[in-house]
A and B are shown apart, each in its own frame.
Chain A
Amino acid sequence: MRRKPETLDLDDIQGLILRGYGGLPAAHYLILHIADPVRARHGLRGLLPRITDGYSDDARRQAVHVAFTYSGLERLGLNTKTLRSFPRPFREGMARRNLLLGDCGASAPERWRWGGPQDKEVHALLLLFAREPDLTHPAAPHPTDDPNASLAELAERGKQDLIHAVRHRLQDSGLEVLEALDTRTLIERKEHFGFHDGIAQPMLHARRLTGKRHVHEDNLVAPGEFILGYRNEYGRLPDSPTVSAVHDPLGLLPRRSDGRHDLGRNGSYLVFRQLRQDVHAFWRFVDECAARDGAADPAARDRLAAKMVGRWPSGAPLVLAPDADDPALGGRDDFGYHDADPYGERCPIAAHVRRTNPRDVMQPGPARYAVPGKKDSTRQAKRHRLLRRGRAYGDPLHPAMTPDAFLRAGDDGAERGLHFLCLNANLTRQFEFVQHTWINNTKFGGLYDAADPIVGTHDPHGEGRLGIFCAPDAPVRQRLCDVPTFVTMRGGAYFFLPGIRALRYLAAGLP
């Protein structure tokens, strides 16, 4: 039974939850340390008018968002009882959840660039989005056919203005910039390995959302899965941090039925992971695996890479385009596995996109006997969705972004990858579940010993093991037993992205 769409308090929600800012190609993230809480709160008050809410017209030109880690909230002076009302994964922080998340070996927190136990504590995150200042058509999609460089240049000007303005406000505000993370928009919305990224996005089942278009029923997810204060896919209100009435004498926060004031309402938990991608290693690996009798086989190479990812470079899903890439199908998201591909013969069970969103097949098998079935699987999958807001960073290995170009370019050793950002209302049930039970689980979907071939942890115990990837084929499966790690963690943290009223409360500095 489908519930009615909910009405969101758009003016109290930070706009990042509702928009991916596809029209703002320039983004800049500041990882902050609060050196002086009193001045930081003052700085936050100055910043408040610039924070973009869900209504703001401003979002067509630029957007500013702010989020805090648990220690950041502690530093801002929240009282102990309020702090205790945050959920445990958030209180512990990403670095201490590393075993659960599979951040071991080369990805261990001790080796992160920021956010690890040896680094200065991360307290806050400032997200800045901007577009090129001269384009006046707000609704126009960004011109992808333009050469990348000039577009980036244009966007850069807008961003620099914004960074300047924000930094100006933060001047003498007791905030120390630990890392200034830049991002990059790659051609055709690709990520560094050369695949079209960010296609499957859940859509909030809510009224009055900007950009109305037809959305597949399976992609409509209850807002409570991403925003605190609304019903989730279980039909319940998510767990939310609260403040006692005494500690909110001005009544800045909305009241709950039990008399406490709701600090979480219209907020969300923001997961930030800086993931380094070893592009050359990836393509060299698939090239070597696909080679026949020592001779390279580009078609087999691209096919194997697509099998590992689950989509072709254009974004065409393997279920719809099993044999060759079909750019006309790029970006298609209205498909399932249950009827077309229950065993993973088109899109392997172990493939990255199938693991991170199994859609209507939780356990592969003959459709008649499969439990959970199509409907149950879809319902279960909806309880583990993530709103992704990630962006690439670093220069592409080769501007053409084709496998051949990558292989020709050689290994330049440069730092590039993805700033993976995602939003969810329950860290354990959503982000951590996907990371643990789908990505890193070697037994996923009836497999024997295969973690995600792209982002999985193959060696959680540090025994020097390599990964295994298994792609069903005729007559028998193809198994690769020496998959190296292509993606490593460089830093990360769990943030709380408060609603606007909650931000005002935090900036007020009440006990």
Chain B
Amino acid sequence: MEPASAPPLPPYADATATPGALTVQLPVRPDAEQALGAYLRAHPFPFARIGAVHYARWAILPRGEDGAGYPVPATLLLAVNHDGATDGWLAAAVDEAAEALDARLAFCEGYPPPPERTPARRLAYLQAHALPHDVFYVGAHRRTLAQILHEARLHAAIQDFVDGRDWRGTEPAEVRRAIQHYVFEERGDAFAWARTPPPPPVNRLRCFARRFWWVLVGAGFALAIVLAVLFTRLALGWLLVPAVIAGLPLVAALAALLVVRVKEARENWAFRTDPVLPYRRADDYPERPDPRQPQTPLTHVAAVRPGRIRHATLRFVLWGVEAMCRCRYTRGMIAGIRTIHFARWVRVDGGRRLIFLSNFDGSWINYLAETSDDLAAGPLTALWSNTEGFPPTRWLFHDGARDVDRFAAWTAAGEALTQDWYCAYPALSLFNIDNNTALRHGLSPEVDLDDDGLRLWLRRI
């Protein structure tokens, strides 16, 4: 049986939209950096009280330099992954945790003095410093916090029920019926929500069509002309139109890639002749979170390389990865990595630095092995090669993160401490969350399982 002291859960709810990703970057008073860091560590923010928060963090982005060598001051970062709209969450935070907010924002520049702090001004201050995210990835796609927690409880109940009996010699279908009986009859209404199967995952094709309708329109138009030339008496000259439609983007892309390649070659040369960069070591990192905890946050800061070419390339790659996250990486995996719950890339400091925030299963020790694997290295290289110090690359996608020692050194150099981190379900890996949802799917009386499906379902317990 589950412990009687388990905290009350919010009522079950299906997801209607992608969870919100709030990013707020606040300027820290020049003298307050140390004190703020100590304060954040000592006083966890009451994230659990405000709305439905999956993950959240306060972290200080340390002072540094941008790609051109100009100084960037330290800033305070608030990043939250929550259900619902971002504005709504901020308003709730201002209502529920005014004191805790004040205590942190008092270290920041431009925050009004105590007598002038009203809910409206707090909200306005936070909203004024909120940033849009460039890429936002969700591992447990289309699932609310309530769904994740309820399904975990369901899984635990089924585990305990199955443990209590000797099932040897029982037919699989019989086992399922017994579990269904236990969950839906013996446990009363506790799991009544599980009678309906979970909402199906996003249709990726439809998602792609909605986002890239103009590509489809263009392709359809070109195809129509080709067919018209082939089967009607349209002049051959019309074939120029599809040739231009298909060819122009291709030529533009090739030209852009060539420009990037030239840029790369020059930067790689600089990298080789720089006495420090190639020999910076992977282990010059500050302290890292306890390796025993099952999940870990990463806050990573990198200076964007100077020049229009790099800024434009970065924006284009970010746009591409964001589109992938919306349309392709919707099954709990991003570029072959199956351990990331939430991740985002945000350009901060007026676009001069790029931050990467992620909440992942395990520890930095497996994280580096996963990100430097060939499956993940391509997209990550395309993205991060636009920032300073990244290992040499070729044609945007090649080398880079595959140089595992240098990539580790580069990652370590950009790591920032995450002073205050909150996680709503530290005991659930992304794999567990997915498994719980699948378990619930097969449990629902509305779902018919054939023999193979039944065996597969029983394996999920």
Contacts and interface: CB of A to CB of B under 8 A. Distances in A.
Interface of A: 87-89, 99-100, 102, 104, 234, 236, 238-239, 343, 345, 363, 366, 371-372, 376, 379-380, 383-384, 428-429, 432-433, 436-437, 441-443, 446, 448-449, 460-461, 472, 474-477, 479, 481
A67 to B, nearest CB: 21
- Chain A interface main SS type: loop
A100 B432 contact: no
Given A234-B404, A372-B375, A441-B362, A476 B338 contact: no
B163 A448 contact: no
B403 A100 contact: no
A460 B291 CA distance: 10
Interface string B111-140: 000000000000000000000000000000
A93 to B, nearest CB: 13
B358 interface: no
B361 to A, nearest CB: 6
A383 B369 contact: yes
8 contacts: A89-B283, A371-B338, A376-B373, A376-B374, A446-B429, A446-B435, A448-B432, A460-B292
A379 to B, nearest CB: 7
Given A100-B363, A345-B459, 4 more contacts: A236-B405, A476-B167, A476-B458, A477-B162
Contact of A481 (B163, B290, B362, B404): B163
B459 A477 contact: yes
B283 A88 contact: yes
A100 B163 CA distance: 32
Interface residues of B, number: 42
B435 to A, nearest CB: 7
Interface in B229-260: none
B229 to A, nearest CB: 41
Nearest to A457: B292
A234 B400 CA distance: 12
Nearest to B155: A448
B365 A428 contact: yes
Interface of B: 159, 162-163, 167, 170-172, 175, 281-283, 290-292, 294, 333, 336, 338, 361-363, 365-366, 368-369, 372-375, 402-405, 427, 429, 431-432, 435, 456, 458-459, 461
B390 to A, nearest CB: 16
Nearest to A472: B459
A107 to B, nearest CB: 13
A479 B361 CA distance: 23
A238 B294 CA distance: 29
Nearest to B403: A236
A102 B365 contact: no
Contacts of B365: 100, 428, 432-433, 436-437
Nearest to A345: B459
A383 B368 CA distance: 12
A345 B458 CA distance: 12
B366 A475 contact: no
A436 B363 contact: yes
A234 B431 contact: no
A22 B366 CA distance: 34
B369 A477 contact: no
A437 B282 CA distance: 19
A88 B336 CA distance: 29
A429 B369 contact: yes
B304 to A, nearest CB: 27
B432 A371 contact: no
Contacts of B372: 234
B404 A443 contact: no
Contacts of A428: 282-283, 365
A376 B404 CA distance: 17
A376 B366 CA distance: 16
Contacts of A345: 459
A372 B336 contact: yes
Nearest to A343: B459
Nearest to B432: A448
A78 B167 CA distance: 64
B432 A363 contact: no
